[in-house]
Structure 1
Amino acid sequence: MAKTRWIAGALAVTATMLVAPAGADVVPGDKITEANVDKVKDLISPGLEWCIKHGFPMTITETKHVEWPRAYKEATEKYASQVKLSADGRVMENYVAGQPFPSPDVKDPQFVIKVMFNYDYGYVNGLDDTDLRNFDADTGAVADHGPLTVERHFLLDHFRRLFWTGRLYVDPKPEKPNPNGYRAQQGLYPILEPYDLKGVGALGNRYSSPDKQDDS
Structure 2
Amino acid sequence: MKKPSQFRVPALLAVIAVFFALTLSITPAHAGVKPGDVITPKNAEQVRTLVSPGAYVAVAKGMQMNIVAPSRIDWPPPYQDATEKYSGQVRLGPDHRDLLGYVAGQPFPILDPNDPDVATKIMWNQYLKPIATDDFDLRYFECQVARQNPGAQQQLMLLTETGHLAGYSDIGRTEVEPLPVDPDFKISGVWSRVGAYPTLTPAEDRGSGAIRYRYWDANHGDDAWAFLAGTRRVRRVNEVMMSSSPGLSTWDADHVGGFGAKPQEYNFKFLGDRSMLACAHAMNSPAHPCSTDGGATSCTDDWEMRHLYVVEVTPRPERIAGVLQSKTIVYVDGEGWFSPYVDSYDRKGELWKTQIYLNSYRDRPVPDAKVAVYPFKREFGTAASSIDLQSGVATTCYLPGPDTPERECWYINMGAVDREFFTTEALTKAGH
Q: Is the 8 A contact 1:128 1:168 kept in 2?
A: yes
| 1:160/1:186 contact within 8 Å kept | yes
Selected match of 2:182 from 154, 176, 179: 176
Equivalent runs, 1:50-129 vs 2, <5 Å: 50-125=57-132, 127-129=133-135
Say yes or no: does 1:198 pair with 2:203.
Answer: no
Amino acid at match of 1:215: D
Three-state SS of the structure 2 residue aligned to 1:74 is helix
Normalised TM-score (structure 1)? 0.82
Deviation at 1:186, TM superposition (A): 1.9
Give the secondary structure class of the aligned counterpart of 1:189. Answer: strand
Would the aligned equivalents of 2:108 and 2:125 in 1 still touch at CA under 8 Å?
A: yes
Paired letter, 2:44: V
1:143 corresponds to which letter in structure 2? Answer: Q
Distance 1:40 1:169, change over 3 A: same
Question: How many residues are paired up?
Answer: 197
For residues 1-40 of structure 1, the aligned pairs below 5 Å read 20=27, 23-40=30-47
Q: Which amino acid aligns with 1:33?
A: T
Runs of 5+ consecutive residues of structure 2 not aligned to the other structure? 1-23, 225-432
Cα distance change, pair 95–152 in 1 and its aligned pair in 2 (3 A): same
Report the RMSD for the aligned CA atoms in angstroms.
Answer: 2.1
| CA distance, structure 2, for counterparts of residue 23 and residue 37 of structure 1 | 17
Structure 2 CA distance for partners of 1:155 and 1:33, relative to 1, 3 Å? closer
Report the TM-score when normalising by structure 2.
0.43
Higher percent of residues as helix: 2
Q: Hey, which bits of structure 1, 4+ residues long, moved more than 4 A?
A: none
Distance in 2 of aligned mates of 1:44 and 1:34: 14
Of Structure 1 and Structure 2, which has the larger fraction of its residues in strand? 2
> Which structure exhibits the higher relative contact order, with contacts defined as CA atoms closer than 8 Å and separated by 6 or more residues?
2
Per-residue Cα deviation, 1:54-103 (whole angstroms, up to 9, x for no partner): 11112211111100001001001111111111233211110000011112
Partner of residue 194, structure 2 = 186
Cα shift at 1:182: 1.0
